[in-house]
Amino acid sequence: MFAEYSFEEIKSILIMQSFGGLSLLCIYVLMGLGLYVVFGQMGVINMAHAEFLVIGSYTMCLASKFVVDHMPTFINHYLWIAIPLSFGVAFLVGWIVEWLLISRLYKRPLDTLLATWGLSLIMQQCFRTFIGAREMSATLPDWLMGSWAPTDTIDIPINGLVILATTIILTTGLVIFTRKTRWGLRMRSTSQNRDMSQALGINTKVTDRFTFALACGISGIGGAFLTTVASTSPTAGTAYIVDAFLVLVLGGLGSLFGLVISAGFLALLSSILEFFMTGSMAKVWLYLIIFIVLAKFTKGLFSSKVRT
């Protein structure tokens, strides 16, 4: 089937396909990162996680709409404000949600599951009521939708490069933040031993609130970038939540390295499967293979070895 292509062209196709896979990996990481922080640092399973992605997407869409309507000359640059804004809005909502809901349920994991699921429905209804039921897309600057052609036959989409850069910055930033800053130390000590952290002067309630809000903010950034590959609607989150959980569970729950590897595994698997069959059939096979992997490695591929 490759007979009509030259060697040079096959090489280019390979490079572009690999880059496509890498972009998909990044999207999986962006979808799973916030979930990972909340689960890994706090042991909370946030069923409303995907709605925080959607908050980021909506922030992006509304920011672009505002720019198009009121200051069209700014269209090429508004991203640099819309992305921090997506973080900020999701962070703020996360802060409030932790304060009103999550903080009251820490010792009751099943109730938390139910409550955050209810929260996801409430958030979806809020999107519908306050923003509208119709699908929405962000008007993205032309430069972002363009492509970069290092040779005649290779075409690398710019948005893929931006997503790649964002993913790298976010994950390494998160690692540096948790390892090197006082907030990071507070987060880690609180997740390991809440009582002892308090007995050393840490306000664990504020730490929890900050951790949850930070995870939501990260999801907000992820959501902002999802607008470059998908449109946004009140129920857009339902399409993300399964994938986000897959990445997390497959990665061994609570290991960032595992998260990235499992995102890569998922991206590779779904690219291969989608090459051979229709999208929905590919999803079926994808889930099937993952169930088999999980049955074999009950703790995911990369569970942390050191335990308290």
Contact between 209 and another protein (CB under 8 A)? no
Residues in Cβ contact with 246 at an 8 Å cutoff, skipping those fewer than 6 apart = 262, 266, 287, 290
Contact between 185 and another protein (CB under 8 A)? yes
Shortest CB 193 distance to another protein, Å: 6
Span near another protein by CB under 8 A; candidates 5-13, 38-46, 137-145, 193-201: 193-201
In angstroms, the Cα distances linking 93 to 22, 79, 125, 214, 215 are 31, 21, 15, 10, 11
Angle CA 302–262–59, to nearest 5: 125
Contact between 215 and another protein (CB under 8 A)? no
From 203, 272, 291, 292, residue interacting with another protein (rule: CB under 8 A): 203
Shortest CB 170 distance to another protein, Å: 23
Closest CA relative to residue 106, chosen from 13, 189, 236, 194: 194
Contact between 122 and another protein (CB under 8 A)? no
Q: Within 193-255, where are the H helices?
A: 194-198, 204-226, 236-250
Span near another protein by CB under 8 A; candidates 25-33, 38-46, 111-119, 185-193: 185-193
Angle CA 245–246–249, to nearest 5: 80
Contact between 110 and another protein (CB under 8 A)? no
| 3 state SS of 216 | helix
Shortest CB 94 distance to another protein, Å: 22
Shortest CB 307 distance to another protein, Å: 8
From 193, 272, 287, 292, residue interacting with another protein (rule: CB under 8 A): 193
CA 56 from centroid of its chain's CA atoms = 10
From 2, 199, 280, 296, residue interacting with another protein (rule: CB under 8 A): 199
> 189: exposed, middle or buried (C-beta count within 10 Å: 0-12, 13-18, 19+)?
middle
Shortest CB 181 distance to another protein, Å: 11
Q: Which residue in this structure is represented by tokens 């921090």?
A: 84
Contact between 204 and another protein (CB under 8 A)? yes
Contact between 3 and another protein (CB under 8 A)? no
Contact between 231 and another protein (CB under 8 A)? no
Residues of this chain that bind another protein (CB under 8 A): 182, 185-186, 188-189, 192-193, 195-204, 306-308
